[in-house]
Amino acid sequence: MSDYPSSYRFTRDHEWIAVEGAKGKIGITSYAQSELGDVVYVELPKVGDAVTAGASFGTVESVKAVSEIFSPVTGTVTEINAHLNNAPETLNQDPHGEGWLIKVSLNDPAEVEKLLSAEDYQTFISSQQH
């Protein structure tokens, strides 16, 4: 069972964000990758693209399904994890670390306060389990 870092914040759509000042790093959670199964392709935005809290910014394709990824915050893309193009399996292996998706500069760092804590997220996913 993967750990959910206590410094991260989470969404009910199963994304995480690690914030430092006005910058954030975004990925999908360990729960999300295990539900998706083997990831085969990741479609990311371009550097400079705007992302909006709650809106889709890319897709993750697994052997089971193509799923949209929703941004936890509003901001601008500053970096993408290009490594995922050649090694999409990184998302399965290390979802909270090397498998990060994009880095953004936040329009409003206070937005993060509305997101779930690691503890709340784990309570949320245990209520989702079947």
Partner 1 sequence: MSTTPRAARHIVQNEELLFEISEPGKAAYQLPELDVPPANVAALGERARSDIAGFPELSEIEIIRHFTRLSTWNYGVDTGLYPLGSCTMKYNPRVNEFVARLDAIAGAHPLQPEELSQGALRIMDLLSQYLLEICGMDAITLQPAAGAQGELTGILLIRAALQARGNARRLVLIPDSAHGTNPATAAIAGYEIAKLSSNAQGTVDMASLDRLMTDQVAALMLTNPNTLGIFEEDIHRIADLVHQRGGFLYMDGANMNALVGRARPGDFGVDVMHLNLHKTFSTPHGGGGPGSGPVAVKAELEPFLPTPVLTRRPNGALTLEEDRPHSIGRMRAFAGSFGMLVRALAYIMANGSDGLKQTTEDAVLNANYIRTRLKDVYALSYDTPTMHECVFSDKLQARKADVHTGDIAKRLIDYGFHPYTVSFPLIAPGAMMIEPTESASKRELDEFIAALRAIAQEVDTEPETVKTAPHTTRVSRMDEVAAARKPRLRWTED
Q: Which residues bind partner 1 (CB under 8 A)?
A: 38, 40-41, 61, 63-65, 88-89, 130
Nearer to partner 1 among residue 49 and residue 89 (C-beta): 89
Nearer to partner 1 among residue 61 and residue 94 (C-beta): 61
Distance between alpha carbon 47 and the CA centroid of its chain, in Å? 16
Nearer to partner 1 among residue 49 and residue 61 (C-beta): 61
Distance, in Å, from the CA atom of 98 to the CA atom of 79, rounded to the nearest integer, reads 14
User: Least separation, in Å, of the C-beta of 21 and partner 1?
Assistant: 35
User: Least separation, in Å, of the C-beta of 8 and partner 1?
Assistant: 26
User: Least separation, in Å, of the C-beta of 65 and partner 1?
Assistant: 8
What does the H/E/C string look like for the chain?
CCCCCCCCEECCCCEEEEEECCEEEEEECHHHHHHHCCEEEEECCCCCCEECECCEEEEEEECCCEEEEEECCCEEEEEECCHHHHCCCHHHHCCCCCCCCEEEEECCHHHHHHCECHHHHHHHHHHHCC
User: Least separation, in Å, of the C-beta of 40 and partner 1?
Assistant: 4
Nearer to partner 1 among residue 45 and residue 88 (C-beta): 88
